[in-house]
Structure 1
Amino acid sequence: MKFSRRELLKGCFASAAMVGIPACLSTSPTNRTPSKLVDDWETARQIRANIQLPEFPDRDFPLTDYFQGPQPEDCTEVFAKAIKACHQAGGGRVVVAPGLYHTGPIHLLSNVNLHLQAGARVKFIPEPKRYLPAVHTRWEGMEIMGYSPLIYAYQQNNIAVTGSGVFDGSGDNQTWWPWKGPHKEAHWDIIPDQDQAPARMQLMKDVENHVPQEQRLYAEGSFLRPSFFQPYECQRVLVEGVTFKDSPFWLVHPVLCQHVSVKGVQFLSHGPNSDGCDPECCDHVLIEDCMFDTGDDCIAIKSGRNADGRRVGIPSKNIIIANCQMKEGHGGVVIGSEISGGVNNVYVENCQMDSPHLERAIRIKTNSIRGGLIERLRYRNITVGSVKTAVVINFFYEEGDAGSFDPTVRDIVIENMTCNDISLRAFNLQGFPRKPIEDIHFIDCHFGNAQNPSIFKNIKNITMNNVTVNGIKIDPQSL
């Protein structure tokens, strides 16, 4: 099943006005009543109730039981033995006591809960050869045989990473992060000898040429950094309480998973592409009570890139994001940009965001190369301190309008969103003339201290009910 259908609809154009509100948008009456909005959030409660948590036998497998003598300097084999023993016994907890443990990749098996007690610190050794042989993975939404993620699970069920300890990815030690290539941002300035760019360009060609994944060998010599924790084709995944610090690449990246819960996790990483949590092609996902202090998007919902995303054709859907704090990042709650498989049924509520480096609070990024059907998105009770732009939907991301896969973005409701200090603009909403953004509604939203007019281009059916920009209430009749 594929989600690349195209619908040719007439759009309309509206330029930015003095307070950022256009005078000529298409605004057919909305059918959204308070009872309908209640039904939307009842659907969210049902999704939450249907998310299955893993269950484990009440058995502990202390990691120290698998030492042969004193604690080894490299605990890779110790972790592997403890996880295997727990799995073969029918499951339980592999318990990591307080202390520092150096290790290579950790591969989880079904029915295993890797539990870090308070004071436990698992530090991954930054030697790329340790993360071989290559495994089935995704990199920027493209399928490859690449370096093992630091924590990896492939086709496993009933798995967890829990506790209150710290996973340290050693991303800042000048091994992984320089592979990004020459790059400068607020927290780092990299001028490396290695560069991922040649392999990245070749991989994109392989994707478009439909080269089988088994033949896409992008490990040693390609400089494509691994994710921190990637469950791949897994069911019933729990990540709770732990801290992920200094990841080589994306931090928590579930791919093709069902029933994923990420609860009370701290994401601390300011390296290049340090996305916090990126569910990709996943169904029934809960992300709640988490704190994000990251060098890229805090949460980015994805579904595969370009030909890979359309070929697999599995959207990310039925996602709940609640009670999260975004201290820093490129975007707070983001959809895209690897979005070719589509996204639907996303519910975001009670989140706080605040940083002068936060570029966008709510963002959807795609283009006519990536495409994607993105619909049924609900946001409420979003409080933002400082941000550059509050709400961004951009059909011209990165490659711009250079393809033949027009995205569909429709059916969005944002209610009770408050932004205090906007250094750029409140809104930047840009569809295509031939393919407008459709059916977007703002209710009880207030945007303060916006320094520039908003941008609205090619939108079909936008409504604003009690919305202010810089203290000026927007009259719906003026739209």
Structure 2
Amino acid sequence: MKFIKFTSLFFFTLIMLFSSCKEQKKTIAKESDSEENQNEIVENSVWEKADQIVSSIVIPQFPDKDFLITDFGAVADGKTNNSVAFKKAIAACYKSGGGKVIVPEGKYLTGPIHLKSNVNLHLKEGAEVLFSKNKADYLPVVHTSYEGVELMNYSPLIYAYQQKNIAITGKGTFNGQASNENWWPWCGAERYGHKEGMAQQKDEANLPALRKMNEAGVPVNERVFGEGHQLRPLFLEPFECENVLISGVTFTNAPFWVIHPIKSNSVTVDGVTVNSHGPNNDGCDPEYSKNVRIANCLFNTGDDCIAIKSGRNEDGRRVAIPSENIVIENCVMKDGHGGVVMGSEISAGVRNVFVRDCKMDSPNLDRAIRIKTNTLRGGFVEDIYVKDLWVGSVKEAVLKINTHYGIYDNQEGEFMPSIKNIYLENVTVKNGGKYGILITGREESPVKNVNFTNVVINDVKEIQSVEHAEKINFKNTKINNQEMK
């Protein structure tokens, strides 16, 4: 009897233990599933946020009224200066409550074009706007910016100041007519036409003077440059504008940066071609701007294709407006110093940048994704998401993060930069150049939380060079066919 009782107790205990193990396995499985689901939820919420940003951006609408510049005296001979005709057509459109200022087929020479609220400047197919080579045409000076520092300078070629609901649309071309004989020599480089003894931007009265004013906190209206100075104008600058659309047009031969929305909100750059190989010919540089969508564009440039900025040194800290909520999608990047770049003018910080469905491919493209700053700039870069990126060829690195940018020019200070939360997912690179990953952080402020998921990088000389950064999080990632852990 005792034996029967003992046997029954033994089997009962085994059954309980077996049941307990099964329940424990179920719990572990559920926890594992929960972790995977949680990761999926987080990933989905990230790209849902990108969709929400796109949905929140206002595309300006215009009354159905047309104003042909030829009705205001414009002549399409490529020689007659049509500045007055553009000004009159835009003024008439604005005063009537808005509409479309139309540039028909033909070549139209002009000085700077200043847009007004509720005006859509529309270039018909075959229309080319040629900007004057006469520097006096870009005076009087206006409130603008140069390499992250505000000043009074030559007017941008296309300019809008504190306007709302503006657009530049169509299939025509804006030709800045900058060349080795016009504007470009001021950069100081021999390959852009500068000759020894010619005035240039590095002369004491130019950039050095502007930067001293920046350091000293001189009011912007007292930073007067323009005539007698050699600081090139921007091509297109919406300054403190809201609801901006730039669609379909082509920009070429820019004096300096091409598309520069500064302190602006709700900006769309869609289907634009930038084909300009001059000095500092960045394609699109949002600065102190938020809720920006750059989509379906082609960038073939002499500098960065897209560079997100937020002020240089004291100016950035004075303005203190981060660039944020920027979505870049379905774009093609060819020549350039970088595909999508943050910096180096970055003192007010950059966050919430989403890059998806882009293609980068050129033997003259130096990096795919780049972040550059130093301890004079300081600033922060955080929450950068890159997904579904195809890279054919880059020269230096697929991802480059440098917190020592410009150190050979004594660009060291007391403002430690912070870089964290960088995500690359579903990235394929055919020819990765010198490095797969190149990170140079700071011992006092290491680069944090860099993530590679489903990334394949082929044909690099060196897999990675990483200094002063947390361990990179790799998931299903191969570089030179080596599984990264």
TM-score, normalising length: structure 1 = 0.90
Matched, 1:39 2:49: no
Q: CA deviation at 1:460?
A: 2.2
Looking at structure 1, the residues matched to 82 and 239 of structure 2 have their Cα atoms a distance apart, in angstroms, of 24
Q: Secondary structure at the residue paired with 2:425?
A: strand
Q: Which has the higher contact order (CA 8 A, sep 6+)?
A: 1
- What's the counterpart of residue 65 of structure 1? 71
Residue identity opposite 2:426 in structure 1: N
Q: CA deviation at 1:222?
A: 1.7
Of residues 195, 200, 223, the one that matches 2:207 is: 200
The Cα offsets for residues 149-206 of structure 1, whole Å up to 9 and x where unpaired, read as 000000111000000000000012511000000254xxx5643622100211111111
1:262-310 per-residue CA deviation (whole Å, 9 max, x = no partner) reads 0000001000000000000001000000000100000000011100000
Q: Which has the larger radius of gyration?
A: 2
Cα displacement string for residues 389-428 of structure 1 (whole angstroms, at most 9, x for unaligned residues): 1100000101367111111111111101111112211111
CA contact (8 A) 1:30 1:461 kept: no
2:401 maps to 393
In structure 2, the residue matched to 1:252 is 259
Give the Cα separation in 1 of the matches to 2:154 and 2:75: 31
- Write the distance in 2 (CA, Å) between the matches of 1:256 and 1:40: 25
Point out where structure 1 has 5 or more consecutive residues left out of the alignment. Answer: 1-28
Does the CA-based 8 Å contact 2:138-2:156 persist in structure 1? yes
1:332 shift after superposition = 0.2
Deviation at 1:453, TM superposition (A): 4.3
2:394 partner SS: strand
Distance, in Å, in 2 between the alignment partners of 1:226 and 1:100 is 22
CA distance in 2, matches of 1:412, 1:70: 50
Q: 1:468 to 1:189 in 2, by over 3 A?
A: farther
Tell me, what secondary structure is at the counterpart of 2:432?
A: strand
Amino acid at match of 1:246: N
Contact 2:102 / 2:122 at 8 angstroms: preserved in 1?
Answer: yes
* d(CA) in 2 for partners of 1:64, 1:449: 55
Shift of 1:125: 0.8
Residue 366 and residue 162 in structure 1: after superposition, are their counterparts in 2 closer, same or farther (change >3 A)?
same
Matched, 1:452 2:459: no
Output one character per residue of 1:233-282: Cα deviation in whole Å (capped at 9) or x when no partner. 00000000000001000000010000000000000100000000000000
Kept after mapping to 1: 8 A contact 2:186/2:194: no
Match of 1:230 in 2: 237
Q: What residue identity is the alignment partner of 2:458?
A: G
Unaligned runs of 5+ in 2: 1-34
Q: CA RMSD in A?
A: 1.7
Counterparts in 2 of 1:37-436, with a 5 A limit? 37-67=43-73, 73-172=80-179, 174-184=181-191, 190-191=194-195, 193-198=198-203, 199-388=206-395, 389-399=397-407, 402-436=412-446
Report the count of equivalent residues: 444
Q: 2:263 touches 2:287 (CA, 8 Å); kept in 1?
A: yes
Partner secondary structure for residue 452 of structure 1: strand
Q: CA separation of 1:390/1:349 partners in 2, compared to 1, >3 Å: closer, same or farther?
A: same
Residue identity matched to 1:243 = T
Structure 1 position 451, deviation (Å)? 1.5
Alpha carbons 1:267, 1:276 under 8 Å: kept: yes
| Corresponding position of 2:16 | none
The aligned amino acid for 1:393 is I
Residue 470 of structure 2 aligns to a residue in which SS? Answer: strand
Aligned residue for 1:12? Answer: none
Q: Which runs of 4+ in 1 moved over 3 A?
A: 29-32, 68-72, 188-192
Which whole-Å CA distance do the structure 2 matches of 1:379 and 1:69 have between them? 47
| Structure 2 partner of 1:13 | none
Q: Aligned residues: percent identity?
A: 47
1:367: how far off? 0.5
Partner secondary structure for residue 83 of structure 1: helix
SS at match of 1:304: coil
Shift of 1:33: 1.6
- 1:217 aligned counterpart, secondary structure: coil
Pair 468,313 (structure 1): closer, same or farther in 2 beyond 3 Å:
same
Q: 1:205 to 1:267 in 2, by over 3 A?
A: same
Structure 1 stretch displaced more, 457-466 or 244-253: 457-466
Letter in 2 for 1:434: E
CA contact (8 A) 2:313 2:345 kept: yes
Q: Deviations over 1:108-140 (max 9, x none)?
A: 011000000000000001111110000000110
| TM-score, normalising length: structure 2 | 0.89
